[in-house]
Amino acid sequence: MKPHPDWKLMEELLKPVREYQQLAKKHGIADIFQDNGGKLLQVALLLGLKVLPGREGNDAVDENGKEYELKSVNTDLTKSFSTHHHINPTILAKYRKVDWIFAVYCGIELQAIYRVTPQDLAVFYDRWELKWTESGGKDINNPKIPLAFVIQKGELLYGAPPTPRAVEGPAKEAGKEQPEF
Protein backbone atom coordinates (compact mmCIF):
# COMPACT_ATOMS: atom_id res chain seq x y z
CA MET A 1 0.00 0.00 0.00
CA LYS A 2 1.11 3.55 -0.55
CA PRO A 3 0.29 6.60 1.59
CA HIS A 4 -2.60 8.89 0.67
CA PRO A 5 -1.52 12.20 -0.92
CA ASP A 6 -2.63 13.98 2.27
CA TRP A 7 -0.18 11.98 4.42
CA LYS A 8 2.53 14.68 4.22
CA LEU A 9 0.01 17.32 5.31
CA MET A 10 -1.01 15.07 8.19
CA GLU A 11 2.61 14.77 9.33
CA GLU A 12 2.99 18.57 9.29
CA LEU A 13 -0.24 19.07 11.24
CA LEU A 14 0.87 16.60 13.90
CA LYS A 15 3.74 18.85 15.01
CA PRO A 16 1.49 21.41 16.81
CA VAL A 17 -0.80 18.59 17.96
CA ARG A 18 2.17 17.04 19.75
CA GLU A 19 2.78 20.38 21.48
CA TYR A 20 -0.89 20.42 22.48
CA GLN A 21 -0.46 16.94 23.94
CA GLN A 22 2.59 18.06 25.95
CA LEU A 23 0.55 20.94 27.40
CA ALA A 24 -2.23 18.48 28.25
CA LYS A 25 0.21 16.15 30.04
CA LYS A 26 1.43 19.10 32.10
CA HIS A 27 -2.19 19.49 33.27
CA GLY A 28 -2.83 15.82 33.99
CA ILE A 29 -4.47 14.79 30.72
CA ALA A 30 -2.80 11.70 29.27
CA ASP A 31 -4.40 11.75 25.80
CA ILE A 32 -6.13 14.69 24.13
CA PHE A 33 -7.91 12.28 21.80
CA GLN A 34 -9.49 10.17 24.58
CA ASP A 35 -12.48 11.07 26.76
CA ASN A 36 -12.65 14.61 25.33
CA GLY A 37 -9.18 15.28 26.76
CA GLY A 38 -8.46 18.22 24.44
CA LYS A 39 -11.77 19.87 25.27
CA LEU A 40 -11.30 19.19 28.98
CA LEU A 41 -7.93 20.96 28.83
CA GLN A 42 -9.43 23.95 27.04
CA VAL A 43 -12.23 24.35 29.60
CA ALA A 44 -9.92 23.79 32.57
CA LEU A 45 -7.44 26.42 31.39
CA LEU A 46 -10.18 28.92 30.49
CA LEU A 47 -11.85 28.61 33.91
CA GLY A 48 -8.64 28.27 35.93
CA LEU A 49 -9.44 24.73 37.06
CA LYS A 50 -7.06 21.92 37.90
CA VAL A 51 -7.88 18.52 36.41
CA LEU A 52 -8.19 15.87 39.12
CA PRO A 53 -6.45 12.53 38.54
CA GLY A 54 -8.31 9.25 38.16
CA ARG A 55 -11.75 8.37 36.88
CA GLU A 56 -13.65 7.76 40.11
CA GLY A 57 -13.91 11.24 41.62
CA ASN A 58 -14.97 14.59 40.26
CA ASP A 59 -13.22 16.03 37.23
CA ALA A 60 -11.67 19.31 38.37
CA VAL A 61 -11.07 21.63 41.30
CA ASP A 62 -10.80 25.43 41.52
CA GLU A 63 -8.25 27.47 43.45
CA ASN A 64 -10.52 27.41 46.54
CA GLY A 65 -10.75 23.61 46.60
CA LYS A 66 -14.30 23.45 45.19
CA GLU A 67 -14.75 20.42 42.95
CA TYR A 68 -16.73 20.21 39.71
CA GLU A 69 -18.10 17.62 37.34
CA LEU A 70 -17.25 18.60 33.73
CA LYS A 71 -19.26 17.63 30.67
CA SER A 72 -19.12 18.64 27.02
CA VAL A 73 -21.39 18.29 24.04
CA ASN A 74 -20.81 18.68 20.32
CA THR A 75 -24.07 20.11 18.98
CA ASP A 76 -23.21 18.81 15.51
CA LEU A 77 -23.69 15.31 16.91
CA THR A 78 -26.20 15.47 19.78
CA LYS A 79 -28.32 17.87 21.85
CA SER A 80 -27.75 16.36 25.28
CA PHE A 81 -24.91 15.68 27.70
CA SER A 82 -23.83 12.17 28.63
CA THR A 83 -23.52 11.44 32.33
CA HIS A 84 -22.19 8.11 33.65
CA HIS A 85 -22.39 4.50 32.51
CA HIS A 86 -23.34 3.21 35.95
CA ILE A 87 -25.69 5.66 37.67
CA ASN A 88 -26.48 4.39 41.15
CA PRO A 89 -26.96 5.91 44.63
CA THR A 90 -23.19 6.16 45.22
CA ILE A 91 -22.64 8.16 42.02
CA LEU A 92 -25.73 10.27 42.69
CA ALA A 93 -24.48 11.11 46.19
CA LYS A 94 -21.24 12.35 44.62
CA TYR A 95 -23.15 14.38 42.01
CA ARG A 96 -25.40 16.00 44.61
CA LYS A 97 -22.37 17.68 46.22
CA VAL A 98 -20.88 19.57 43.26
CA ASP A 99 -21.72 22.08 40.57
CA TRP A 100 -21.47 20.86 37.01
CA ILE A 101 -19.65 22.71 34.24
CA PHE A 102 -21.20 22.14 30.81
CA ALA A 103 -19.14 23.08 27.73
CA VAL A 104 -21.04 23.53 24.48
CA TYR A 105 -19.12 22.92 21.27
CA CYS A 106 -20.01 23.12 17.61
CA GLY A 107 -17.52 20.64 16.21
CA ILE A 108 -14.26 21.61 17.90
CA GLU A 109 -15.23 25.27 18.44
CA LEU A 110 -16.17 26.21 21.99
CA GLN A 111 -19.44 28.17 21.95
CA ALA A 112 -20.42 28.52 25.61
CA ILE A 113 -19.77 27.26 29.12
CA TYR A 114 -22.49 26.99 31.77
CA ARG A 115 -22.45 26.17 35.48
CA VAL A 116 -25.46 24.33 36.91
CA THR A 117 -25.96 23.76 40.64
CA PRO A 118 -26.81 20.44 42.28
CA GLN A 119 -30.13 21.96 43.35
CA ASP A 120 -31.10 22.59 39.73
CA LEU A 121 -29.92 19.13 38.68
CA ALA A 122 -31.85 17.45 41.52
CA VAL A 123 -34.81 16.90 39.19
CA PHE A 124 -32.64 14.44 37.25
CA TYR A 125 -31.02 12.91 40.33
CA ASP A 126 -34.41 12.26 41.92
CA ARG A 127 -35.77 10.70 38.72
CA TRP A 128 -32.69 8.48 38.29
CA GLU A 129 -32.72 7.39 41.92
CA LEU A 130 -36.37 6.38 41.63
CA LYS A 131 -35.67 4.48 38.41
CA TRP A 132 -32.71 2.71 40.05
CA THR A 133 -34.86 1.73 43.05
CA GLU A 134 -37.80 0.57 40.92
CA SER A 135 -35.46 -1.56 38.79
CA GLY A 136 -34.34 -3.48 41.86
CA GLY A 137 -30.96 -1.76 42.05
CA LYS A 138 -29.91 -2.03 38.41
CA ASP A 139 -27.43 0.71 37.45
CA ILE A 140 -28.68 3.16 34.81
CA ASN A 141 -26.56 3.36 31.69
CA ASN A 142 -25.68 6.93 30.77
CA PRO A 143 -28.86 8.97 31.19
CA LYS A 144 -28.74 12.33 29.44
CA ILE A 145 -29.15 15.96 30.46
CA PRO A 146 -30.66 18.05 27.64
CA LEU A 147 -28.74 21.06 26.38
CA ALA A 148 -31.96 23.10 26.50
CA PHE A 149 -32.19 22.42 30.27
CA VAL A 150 -28.58 23.54 30.80
CA ILE A 151 -29.21 26.79 28.90
CA GLN A 152 -32.43 27.44 30.84
CA LYS A 153 -31.08 26.70 34.33
CA GLY A 154 -27.37 27.34 34.01
CA GLU A 155 -25.23 30.38 34.66
CA LEU A 156 -23.41 31.41 31.48
CA LEU A 157 -19.70 31.59 32.35
CA TYR A 158 -18.28 32.02 28.85
CA GLY A 159 -19.41 32.69 25.31
CA ALA A 160 -22.93 33.25 24.10
CA PRO A 161 -26.05 31.09 24.26
CA PRO A 162 -26.16 28.66 21.34
CA THR A 163 -28.58 29.40 18.54
CA PRO A 164 -31.97 27.65 18.57
CA ARG A 165 -30.80 25.48 15.64
CA ALA A 166 -27.82 24.30 17.69
CA VAL A 167 -30.11 23.43 20.60
CA GLU A 168 -33.18 22.06 18.80
CA GLY A 169 -32.09 21.39 15.22
CA PRO A 170 -31.19 18.04 13.73
CA ALA A 171 -28.35 16.32 15.55
CA LYS A 172 -26.90 14.65 12.46
CA GLU A 173 -27.33 15.05 8.74
CA ALA A 174 -28.43 11.85 7.08
CA GLY A 175 -25.46 10.04 5.57
CA LYS A 176 -22.94 12.27 7.36
CA GLU A 177 -22.29 10.07 10.38
CA GLN A 178 -18.70 9.50 11.36
CA PRO A 179 -17.49 5.95 10.83
CA GLU A 180 -16.81 3.78 13.85
CA PHE A 181 -13.34 2.30 14.24
**Residues with active-site annotation:** 59, 69, 71
Nearest to 70 by CA among 93, 103, 42: 103
Which residues have C-beta within 8 Å of that of residue 47, sequence separation ≥ 6?
62, 101, 113, 157, 158
Nearest of 42, 107, 39, 101 to residue 75 by alpha carbon: 107
CA 4, 39, 114, 100: dihedral to nearest 10 degrees? Answer: 130
